[in-house]
Amino acid sequence: MKLPWELFLSLRYLKPKRTFVSVITVISILGVTLGVMVLILVMAVMSGFDRDLREKILGFHAHLTISGGGVIEEAQEVVAKVRTVPHVTAAAPYTLGLVLLEFNNRIAAPYMKGVDPHLENQVSRLTNFVVEGRFDLDGEKVLIGRELAREYGIWVGDRVTVFSPKNFVKRDEVNLPAEMEVTGIYEFGMYEYDVGFIFTSLKNMQELYELRGGVHAVAAMTDDPIHATAIKHEVNKVLPPPLRAQTWMDLNQRLFAALVVEKNVMFFILIFIIIVAAFGLCSTQITVVVQKTREIGILKSLGATNPQVMLVFVSQGLVVGLFGTLLGLGLGMLLLTYRNPFMHQLSRLTGYELFPKQLYHFNELPAQIIPADIATICVASFLICTLASVFPAYRASRLEPVEALRYE
């Protein structure tokens, strides 16, 4: 196959006479490969963290939460109005408040959430996260988180004492605490949830807080959590003031914003690996231009134009960027596939647990391959390498044949 002479000469400069490939060329390609590989790995892992975190939050929170800052007296009317909104699939009232939990002379202060046992599986996935015991809230019963159970030594079947704030407000009468049986232990995988919340029936919570028939909020599910914001606006149209709906994204806005910032910062920090490799490519090409001054003079004396000479050296950046990007893409995808065995092997070699489950609450290193992220990394790498070769190529194209051949 016949190549354009500019590309042929460019490839010839990348390959010296005595070896198959130049050491400098290999170093330039490896620099780009390393940058692309690390970027793909880090972006995929952070996307995996974001995906798994969203799944855990959606397992705990409903898609919409309707509240008004106080007690909702006519909860069933609110539920009925919310259910009439298109794309709302379920709704159920609940109560939420701080309690004191006493067990073996130790006291914890979690939030207690009172739910309807018969409707809870429609507005959350709590039943799917019960890892010990069973989901049973009929009567004086309670579900607690795995971390709370571990810290206080609570097992399924134990009885705990629950104090409501009402037990301490009224001084002229005695309100006895509730004795509840632990029927199940749940684990969402997030420490804040697993240690800070316990669940009981709506009736028990209303008695503890003396709400009579009132509730604190109404949880609603939609057919698409990603578009919950649009559905929220429709729900707000049927709600009487001061009731307003909030999405699961509104309730965790700071957390998601922090994840987005971290991912963007990591991208811009790691892209500098490719930029450093591009500077190495640029300096290498400047050296090549100086070494090939005589050849450049001969080419221009034979009629080569400035754009043709410039294309010779820009093509070098194109080749290095192409091979480095493709190798980095292949190694990055391979490392993603075997990320967990590789991580376990590093842990055995170093003697340190690189990904503590107690800290991150993931059994394995999560990852999600987003095609848009992969395309952005590959295109950015290719463009950076190409732009890095423009300056040396421009210097070469500006050489005059007389100056290049003066001392030859």
> Do both 99 and 237 map to the same domain?
yes
DSSP-assigned letters across all residues of 3-30: PPHHHHHHHHHHS-SSSSS-HHHHHHHH
* Helix, strand, coil percentages, rounded to 5, for the chain: 55, 15, 25
194 plus 231 within the same structural domain: yes
**Tens of pLDDT, residues 281-309:** 788 777 777 777 777 777 777 777 777 77
Integer Cα distance of 249 and 158 in angstroms? 36
Tokens of 166: 């009402």
Residue 369 in tokens: 């391959």
Residues 295 and 183 in one domain: no
- Whole-angstrom Cα distance, residue 330 to residue 335? 9
Residues 42 and 266: beta-carbon distance below 8 Å: yes
- Count CA within 13 A, CB hemisphere, residue 300: 20
Express each pLDDT in 66-91 by its tens digit. Answer: 988 788 888 889 889 999 999 999 99
Q: 3 pLDDT band (50/70/90 cuts)?
A: low
| More confidently predicted of 405 and 255 | 255
Q: Is the pLDDT of residue 322 over 70?
A: yes
Based on the fold, state whether residues 49 and 132 are members of the same structural domain.
no
Q: Is the pLDDT of residue 20 over 50?
A: no
Coil/strand/helix, residue 189: coil
Coil vs helix vs strand at 35: helix
pLDDT confidence of residue 363: 64
pLDDT in tens, 180-226: 999 999 988 788 888 889 999 999 898 888 888 889 999 999 988 88
Whether the per-residue pLDDT at 178 is higher than 80: the answer is yes
Banded model confidence at residue 331, pLDDT cuts 50, 70, 90:
very high
Please tell me whether residues 246 and 333 are part of one structural domain. Answer: no
The domain boundary residue, chosen from 228, 250, 272: 250
* pLDDT digits 0-9 by tens, 342-373: 888 887 888 777 776 666 666 678 888 889 98
- 176-204 burial, b at 16+ Cβ within 10 Å, e below that, comes to ebbebebbbbbbbbbeebbbbbbbbbbbb
Shortest CA distance to 94 belongs to which of 253, 229, 217?
217
Rounded to 5 degrees, what angle do the CA atoms 261, 355, 258 make? 15
> Is 16 a residue whose pLDDT tops 60?
no
Beta carbons within 10 angstroms of residue 296's beta carbon:
24
First and final CA of the chain: distance in angstroms?
Answer: 34
Residue 311 structural domain: 5-55+255-405
Give the distance from CA 246 to its chain's centroid.
22
pLDDT at 339 over 90: no
Give the model's confidence band at 15: pLDDT under 50 very low, under 70 low, under 90 confident, else very high. low
CB 164 within 8 A of CB 122: no
Of 132, 52, 142, 137, whose CA–CA distance to 92 is shortest?
137
Q: Which residues contact 406 (CB under 8 A, 6 or more apart)?
A: none
- The number of residues in the chain equals 408
Residues 23-66: tens digit of each pLDDT: 777 788 888 898 899 999 988 988 888 888 888 888 888 899 99
Last residue of a domain, one of 189, 221, 250: 250
pLDDT score for 358:
61
Q: What pLDDT was estimated at residue 253?
A: 82
For 38, 42, 273, the CA distances from 267, given in Å and listed in that order, are 10, 8, 10
* Distance (Å) of CA 295 to CA 96, 237, 304, 344, 404: 80, 77, 11, 54, 8
Statement to judge: residues 301 and 162 lie in one domain = no
Q: Are residues 75 and 113 in the same domain?
A: yes
Which residue has tokens 């309670």? 142
- Range of lowest pLDDT (2-6, 111-115, 315-319, 336-340): 2-6
Tell me how many domains the chain contains: 2
Neighbouring-strand partners of residue 182: 142
pLDDT at residue 183, rounded to an integer: 93
Same domain, 234 and 92: yes
Q: Residue 209 has what pLDDT? A: 85
Residues 92 and 223 in one domain: yes
Structure-model confidence comparison of residues 160 and 263, the more confident one? 160
Residues 173 and 191 in one domain: yes
Return the higher-pLDDT residue of 315 and 9. Answer: 315
Is there a single domain that holds both residue 85 and residue 16?
Answer: no
Model's pTM, two decimal places? 0.74
Q: Are residue 111 and residue 240 in the same domain, yes or no?
A: yes
Answer yes or no: are the C-beta atoms of 61 and 384 closer than 8 Å.
Answer: no
When comparing pLDDT for 140 and 177, which is higher?
140
Answer for the pair 313, 306: CB distance below 8 angstroms, yes or no: no
Residue 94: predicted pLDDT: 92
227: pLDDT strictly greater than 80 = yes
To the nearest whole number, what is the mean pLDDT of the chain? 83
Of the three residues 197, 229, 250, the one that is the final residue of a domain is: 250
The string of pLDDT tens digits covering residues 237-253 is: 888 888 899 998 888 88
Top-confidence residue, 131 or 347: 131
